[in-house]
Amino acid sequence: MHKLTVLNQITLCADGSIGLQLLKQVINDDGTVFFSEPHRSVVDPDMEPGNQMVAVNEHLAEMGYPPLPADMLGHVEKMKTAHRKYAPITARVETFKAQRAAFEATRNAVKS
């Protein structure tokens, strides 16, 4: 038996975020799936999928699963690029970035 991480679903959201559903699988020696469980993650509008996957891959490793294969991450990157080039999505991403920056500025001012 061996463990496998598979990209199962990509959800492109109207706010520019990207929902990812991975499958954590245990595969028998004959190739049949013995166990499969979803693992979800969201790439915020101001994040890059590769940056998010660093944290996800660390979490997968803690559970004994391999990282998401690079070719699957490449597919997510291509989808992100096409999705965020669409003008209404680009505008929402910029709005999200501005709101996050304002929130961070307020939070930092309160801490001071």
Report the percentage of the chain scoring pLDDT > 70.
100
Residue 93: pLDDT over 90: no
- List the one residue out of 21, 27, 20, 29 whose CA is nearest residue 4: 27
| Model confidence pLDDT, tens digit, residues 44-75 | 988 889 999 999 999 999 999 999 999 999 99
The arithmetic mean of pLDDT across residues 83-108, rounded, is: 88
- Name the residue type at position 23: L
The predicted structure's pLDDT at residue 34: 95
Residue 85: pLDDT over 90: no
Structure-token match 């939070």, residue found: 107
- Which range of residues forms the domain containing residue 55? 2-111
What predicted TM-score, i.e. pTM, was given to this entire model?
Answer: 0.80
Q: Are 14 and 95 in contact (CB under 8 A)?
A: no
Scored b (16 or more CB within 10 A) or e, 5-39 reads bbbeebeeeeebbbebebbbbebeeeeeeeeeeeb
The predicted structure's pLDDT at residue 37: 96
Backbone φ and ψ for 9, nearest 5 degrees, come out as -155, 140
Token pair, residue 60, equals 């997968």
| Model confidence pLDDT, tens digit, residues 13-31 | 988 899 999 999 999 999 9
Domain count, the chain: 1
d(CA 94, CA 45): 8
The predicted structure's pLDDT at residue 88: 85
